[in-house]
């Protein structure tokens, strides 16, 4: 693979039910597929921080980030930071899609600013992860643009979710360009014409352009996420199919 191409990780929410049944076995399967990194979302398998870090190292997996609600990020003593520090995660991610409205959005932005300051005090950078709601307009601008324009790029960076941007009818490539230098992680999804998510390569998203622009934007990790399998028989198979296609695309550029 081209050395300039971002590495490939998976948001573990994609295999959440498998993790509940067999946490260690599922992570082993993720490593066997070829993923180099994982992004956590609340579930740490009830493993102590040091033990989990050692297990990831044994599998050759890197923790590329943790997703948590702003309330946890605002609390320096929260479990989130204990795991983030042990797993040596440089980033902590959050979102406030349920606060997208003209009345609530200013408060949401202030909440993200506060969380970002606390994250910075703990040696981490906050990433804002969009859902489809942030592509709605508040006045003349999309909520996501207001968030990006209202926050300090030094402490609030982005983890754009390409699938939600595409679902909203916006151009993912334009948003990658807009966030160049502020986009260390991207969530990669594919979308079918009927506006549902599918495995990478089965939809209409121009994945080659996504990967190419991510390279230019300085993105370090492409993070696959899928809410539930579409054409695949299981979340693990879905993850395997999508990894293969993303690896093939990234390897050509």
Strand partners, 11: 39
pLDDT tens digits for range 196-243:
999 999 999 999 999 999 999 999 999 999 999 998 999 999 999 999
At residue 87, the 3 state secondary structure works out as coil
Read off the pLDDT of residues 97-150 as tens digits, 9 standing for 90 and up. Answer: 999 999 999 999 999 999 999 999 999 999 999 999 999 999 999 999 999 999
Looking at domain 7-252, which CATH architecture does it have?
Alpha-Beta Barrel (3.20)
Q: What is the mean pLDDT of the chain?
A: 96
Residues in a beta bridge with 91: 125
Half-sphere exposure of 117 (CA within 13 A, CB side): 6
Note the pLDDT tens digit of each residue in 11-54: 999 999 999 999 999 999 999 999 999 999 999 999 999 999 99
Percent of the chain with pLDDT over 90: 95
Q: Quick one: tokens of 12?
A: 């573990």
Among 180, 196, 199, 179, smallest CA distance to 188 is for 199
Give the residue extent of every domain in the chain: 7-252
Average pLDDT of span 58-78: 97
pLDDT at 33: 98
Which uninterrupted H or E stretch holds 67? strand 62-67
Confidence of residue 3 (pLDDT cuts 50, 70, 90): very low
Alpha helices, DSSP H only, in the chain?
16-21, 23-33, 49-59, 70-73, 79-86, 105-121, 143-150, 162-167, 172-178, 207-217, 235-252
């Amino acid at each position: 693979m081209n050395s300039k191409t971002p590495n490939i990780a998976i948001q573990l929410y994609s295999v959440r039910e498998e993790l509940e049944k067999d946490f260690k076995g599922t992570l082993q399967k993720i490593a066997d597929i070829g993923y180099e990194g994982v992004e956590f979302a609340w579930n740490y398998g009830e493993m102590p921080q040091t033990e989990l870090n050692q297990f990831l190292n044994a599998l050759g997996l890197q923790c590329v980030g943790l997703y948590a609600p702003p309330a946890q990020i605002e609390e320096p003593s929260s479990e989130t930071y204990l795991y983030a520090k042990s797993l040596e995660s440089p980033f902590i991610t959050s979102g406030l899609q349920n606060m997208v409205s003209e009345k609530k959005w200013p408060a949401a932005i202030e909440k993200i600013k506060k969380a970002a300051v606390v994250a910075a005090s703990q040696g981490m950078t906050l990433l804002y992860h969009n859902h489809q709601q942030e592509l709605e307009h508040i006045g003349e601008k999309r909520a996501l643009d207001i968030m990006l324009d209202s926050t300090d790029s030094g402490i609030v960076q982005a983890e754009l979710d390409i699938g939600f941007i595409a679902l909203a009818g916006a151009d993912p490539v334009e948003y990658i360009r807009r966030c160049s230098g502020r986009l260390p992680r991207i969530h990669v999804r594919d979308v079918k014409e009927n506006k549902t998510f599918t495995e990478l390569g089965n939809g209409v998203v121009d994945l080659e352009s996504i990967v190419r622009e991510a390279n230019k934007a300085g993105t370090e990790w492409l993070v696959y996420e899928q809410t539930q399998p579409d054409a695949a028989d299981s979340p693990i198979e879905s993850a395997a199919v999508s990894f293969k296609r993303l690896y093939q695309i990234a390897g050509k550029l």
